[in-house]
Homo-oligomer: A and B are copies of this chain.
Amino acid sequence: MPSANASRKTQEKPREVMDAAEDFAKERYGVSSMIQSQEKSDRVLVRISELTVQKADEVVWVRARVHTSRAKGKQCFLVLRQQQFNVQALVAVGDHASKQMVKFAANINKESIVDVEGVVRKVNQKIGSCTQQDVELHIQKIYVISLAEPRLPLQLDDAIRPEIEGEEEGRATVNQDTRLDNRVIDLRTSTSQAIFRLQSGICHLFRETLVNKGFVEIQTPKIISAASEGGANVFTVSYFKNNAYLAQSPQLYKQMCICADFEKVFCIGPVFRAEDSNTHRHLTEFVGLDIEMAFNYHYHEVVEEIADTLVQIFKGLQERFQTEIQTVSKQFPCEPFKFLEPTLRLEYCEALAMLREAGIEMGDEEDLRRSALLTLYELIQHLISCCCCSSTPNEKLLGRLVKEKYDTDFYILDKYPLAVRPFYTMPDPRNSKQSNSYDMFMRGEEILSGAQRIHDPQLLTERALHHGIDLEKIKAYIDSFRFGAPPHGGGGIGLERVTMLFLGLHNVRQTSMFPRDPKRLTP
């Protein structure tokens, strides 16, 4: 299939083309014509991960990227890469390769994709710099399938260097904007590959757990007719001759599904927040893992189901994604994520007491809205359900205190003051200042916000009026509860935050493939 030297773009200089005329190996290398599905091929391409001593002395074909190439006398050493795997390869002047062929190999631009035929050879000394440490590939043929441009906007080796190594040894690292501007290359690093494979695993474990628990997956619309929750943080869409809005959460639709007897539902989808926040943990578009379920008598039935779902995710990640966790920790070292079974549940007032004991000045619950801790909720009040409170020093401190006392990175904070939660939050019948609502935290940062929702249209109307919400705008929502509605609750989890905090990373842009914030809309 590869027709040697039949190149659309050649990197050889004219003089070398002339040399090629006398080159005995000239059919053994070159730039292939573009693969346009000209013909089918029986050739088997072997995965680099399969190149082990079991394959010693076999002739194999491999398609891979040229990670590095280095000429050394009459030889050229290449590192060939395929996702997180790589192998050393060698072209040496001899029976299979001419001087020109070695030179060709040495000049292939990094990140080009090549097809090589080679013999797998066992090596005497382990090759520490490659994942395939016990073998190398002795190349007999090499064809460029897709040629990379000579200048890369960032070097992969720099992109996986730990910050500390860069700082202490004065070696190059890559800043975040360069990474994001050139995301197609940045995503090729072993770290990025591991982060997004693990993220794919979070979604898989989330659904697997919920399907086993009898939940039904739903799809909710993202274009909605009214910015029901105040409207300050909502994106406006031109919808034919009118305006529409992007959903800040699937919550209203999840609840309608509960009123429509689906009983237990989940969805995974984009969530939009027009907040002008440029922090390490805010995105204008993120992925929500949402749960909603009817319960029998107490909203803790919901809390337990959600917490157990997260625990099953943590366990699944530690069982199935240990390689990815280790890969990321090489660049971003962190303590393994710890959690308890069952999950620790603290009441809000207990958390206040812990903070006070640690010397944080704090009023009683009545004064909470004026206290320092309020920053925890400043944003939540006008937002829908999940992932929106700002991370404050107190929140992080509480995380550290909980870790010291209970040895867990994951806990539930229950019974938030009613005043700081959205209008549809069920008040606590035993304490009119409290509510049946909760947040969940990982490594001291909030990853889920949820509550028992009001399922009675009369109380819902009262609470909406209390919050100054225009009843006309939420009429369809309130009407959903007029034809029999079971008690229910739920919550929304931010996928990028869970990924970030599980891996101990420090910026949510590392865990969003193509992040969106007030200043970034590309690529």
Contacts and interface: CB of A to CB of B under 8 A. Distances in A.
A158 interface: no
Interface stretch (A34-42, A375-383, A396-404): A34-42
Given A35-B487, A240-B276, A246-B237, A200 B187 contact: no
A25 interface: no
A399 to B, nearest CB: 26
Contacts of A185: 260, 483
12 contacts: A34-B456, A40-B297, A183-B256, A187-B256, A187-B260, A196-B218, A204-B207, A221-B285, A237-B238, A239-B521, A244-B521, A480-B523
A237 B296 CA distance: 41
Contacts of A152: 483
Contacts of A34: 455-456, 459, 487
B63 A486 contact: yes
A138 B37 CA distance: 70
A495 interface: yes
A152 to B, nearest CB: 6
B217 A37 contact: no
A332 interface: no
B458 A9 contact: yes
A392 B475 CA distance: 40
Nearest to A45: B296
A340 interface: no
Contact of A37 (B204, B262, B300): B300
A518 interface: yes
Q: Which of A41, A184, A253, A455 has the most CB of B within 10 A?
A: A184
A427 to B, nearest CB: 7
B296 A240 contact: no
A171 interface: no
Given A113-B485, A207-B207, A495-B219, A476 B522 contact: yes
A1 interface: yes
A220 interface: yes
A107 interface: no
Interface in A124-162: 145-149, 152
Given A222-B272, A237-B246, A253-B513, 14 more contacts: A34-B455, A34-B459, A37-B297, A37-B426, A39-B297, A40-B300, A65-B261, A112-B484, A187-B256, A221-B514, A221-B516, A239-B274, A257-B513, A268-B268
Contacts of A204: 207, 211, 217
Nearest to A42: B297
Place the interface of chain A in its size category.
35 or more
Nearest to A426: B36
A523 B256 contact: yes
B300 A486 contact: no
Contact of A196 (B221, B256, B262): B262
Contact of A261 (B1, B83, B512, B518): B83
Contacts of A297: 1, 35, 37, 39-41, 43
Nearest to A241: B518
Interface string A205-244: 0010001000011111111110000000001111110101
A259 B83 CA distance: 11
A308 interface: no
Given A187-B261, A426-B36, A426-B37, A513 B218 contact: yes
A188 interface: yes
A416 to B, nearest CB: 14
Interface string A464-496: 000000000000100010111111000000010
A322 to B, nearest CB: 17
A197 interface: yes
A77 interface: no
A484 B148 contact: yes
Interface in A282-303: 284-285, 287, 296-300
Interface string A255-267: 0110111110000
Interface string A290-324: 00000011111000000000000000000000000
A436 interface: yes
